[in-house]
Structure 1
């Protein structure tokens, strides 16, 4: 009986989206990257306990790292539990890393995570984007377009 409840608690398809990112940034190029995780982190991700509203990516000497993505501690984890906001290395091809590093040097561009998901093979993946921050008038245009779409849907068109 207990095993049935455990299986119900863990989601089959994890798709955690950073909604704030699409409002704050304009996406230029998107990439899919793997993440180096510990055992309790992947268990928390499968439960859906991830917050990436303030997350961003930076380059260090040996690769691309994800900062401030909060993966909650695993409830049944013991002393082996992980640090919730630690740096996590992203796994990309060398060609993709070089492209991102060159483009991120430009003024006003940043690398942000868009969504976290579990692949068909069971690995945790992060979709990242090279993005440019939106101006206030761009955000107003997005809100106006959403309102117009909502009105059209209500009226039946």
Structure 2
């Protein structure tokens, strides 16, 4: 007897929760990624770490993501990928020009927020133009979350 594969593919949605705590987002973009064969298989398994990821522009005007760790595929052979290599992001020229112009501002960076696989099976990376939060901003966010949680609890009873 042969094993039947699930006809509905598992949804991949990997979120960088630390980024929303450390930064306030000014604008969000969805970008494609240039990947190797074993990298997409590892992404579909959910073996991605975006904690220390950031994006930079190369002199030729292309956008690259750094410190995005995609673990090696367990069943990969000698042609397995390097986990922390730089990966090129694919955006429209208009979006690249917008991001590059806004990157000239002081204290602004581009961070990966979320990685997902779209309906066509392509891995996409949601990136955000972000500004670092101060300590008091983080405290205000935590206070607002606690108040919202208390309000939700009060409604249940």
The TM-score, its normalising length taken from structure 2, stands at 0.93
How many equivalent residue pairs? 154
Q: CA RMSD in A?
A: 1.6
Does the residue aligned with 1:44 lie in a helix, a strand or coil? Answer: helix
Unmatched tracts of structure 2, length 5 or more? none
Which residue does the alignment assign to 2:151? Answer: 152
1:56 aligns with 2:54: yes
Does the residue aligned with 1:20 lie in a helix, a strand or coil? Answer: helix
Q: Matches of 1:64 and 1:26 in 2, distance apart?
A: 21
Which residue does the alignment assign to 1:120? Answer: 119
Contact kept in structure 2, 1:66 and 1:88, CA below 8 Å: yes
Does the residue aligned with 1:156 lie in a helix, a strand or coil? Answer: helix
After superposition, the Cα gap between the structure-2 partners of 1:93 and 1:57, relative to the gap in structure 1 and judged at 3 Å, is same
Which residue does the alignment assign to 1:103? Answer: 102
Which residue does the alignment assign to 1:92? Answer: 91
Q: Matches of 2:130 and 2:2 in 1, distance apart?
A: 45
More helix, by proportion: 1
Alignment of 1:1-157 (within 5 A): 3-4=3-4, 7=5, 12-62=10-60, 63-156=62-155
TM superposition shift of 1:152: 1.2
Q: Matches of 2:72 and 2:124 in 1, distance apart?
A: 19
Q: Matches of 2:43 and 2:2 in 1, distance apart?
A: 21
Unmatched tracts of structure 1, length 5 or more? none
Describe the superposition over 1:75-111 as per-residue Cα deviations: whole angstroms up to 9, x where unpaired.
0000010000000000001111111001011100000
Contact kept in structure 2, 1:11 and 1:47, CA below 8 Å: no
TM superposition shift of 1:12: 1.9
Q: Matches of 1:2 and 1:51 in 2, distance apart?
A: 35
After superposition, the Cα gap between the structure-2 partners of 1:76 and 1:104, relative to the gap in structure 1 and judged at 3 Å, is same
Q: Matches of 1:115 and 1:46 in 2, distance apart?
A: 14
TM superposition shift of 1:3: 4.8
Q: Matches of 1:125 and 1:81 in 2, distance apart?
A: 21
Show structure 1 runs of 4+ deviating over 4 A. Answer: 1-4
